[in-house]
Structures are given as structure tokens and as C-alpha cells.
Amino acid sequence: MNAKYFLGALAFSVLLIASCGKKTGGCYKGEKAWVKDFSESDTCGILFRLEDGTYLEPINLSEFNNLPLNHDDLVWISYKPASGASLCGKGDIVEIKCLADREY
């Protein structure tokens, strides 16, 4: 009898752990963002706008070139602050840790 409860609890734990991150596109602590394309300017390129209006200027966007990014696309993003000077001057300098498509 105790083995059934143990196996049930184990199965529940595995399912709970496996579901982590699914609501954020697989990005741990992912935030909702919109792609903003400022490529027409001389100094800006792709930026990300968070729900609070903050812009993020990534220093390592080329590491995520497998994901096509168009203006106003919806994405999940997780990042950490990075050092360096802003070329664009519109947002916070960040290093992207995870970037994934978002449906809504």
C-alpha cells in the first residue's frame, strides 16, 4: 500500500517538474516581450520591449539567429544585465539567456 502512494507521489513530482517553464516558452523566469526593429536607424537594430515599457538592447542576439525576428513578434525572453556602452541609447544593455516564440 505504501509503495502505491510513493509511486503516485513520484509520478506527480515528475509531471510537476516537467511542466516547469512551459508557460514561459521554456525560458526560466521568462518575461513577455515584443520585438522592435529599429534597423532603419544607423545605430539600432533589434530591441525587445517588455510589458512595463522597458527596452532591452541585447549584446548577444547573433547567438539566437535560428529564431526569425520581425517587428512586433511576440517572444519570451530571459536575460541578465550586461556591461558595455549602448550604441542605440534606447534601452538597458542585456545578455540574452533564453529567447522563444510566444503566441499571445
Helix (H, G, I), strand (E, B) or coil at 27: coil
Mean pLDDT, rounded, for 98-103: 94
Return the pLDDT at 16. Answer: 38
**No. of H helices and E strands in the chain?**
1, 5
pLDDT(5) > 60: no
pLDDT(10) > 70: no
What's the predicted TM-score (pTM) here? 0.75
**Which grid cell sits at 44?**
539600432
Return the pLDDT at 51. Answer: 97
- Scan for cell 545578455, then name that residue: 95
Which residue did the predictor score with more confidence, 17 or 75?
Answer: 75
72 within 8 A of 45, measured Cβ to Cβ: no
pLDDT(17) > 50: no
pLDDT in tens, 76-87: 999 999 998 888
Q: Which residues pair with 95 in a beta bridge?
A: 80
pLDDT in tens, 35-56: 999 999 888 999 999 999 999 9
CATH class of the domain defined by 23-101: mainly beta
pLDDT(20) > 60: no
Burial class (CB in 10 A: 0-12, 13-18, 19+), 32: middle
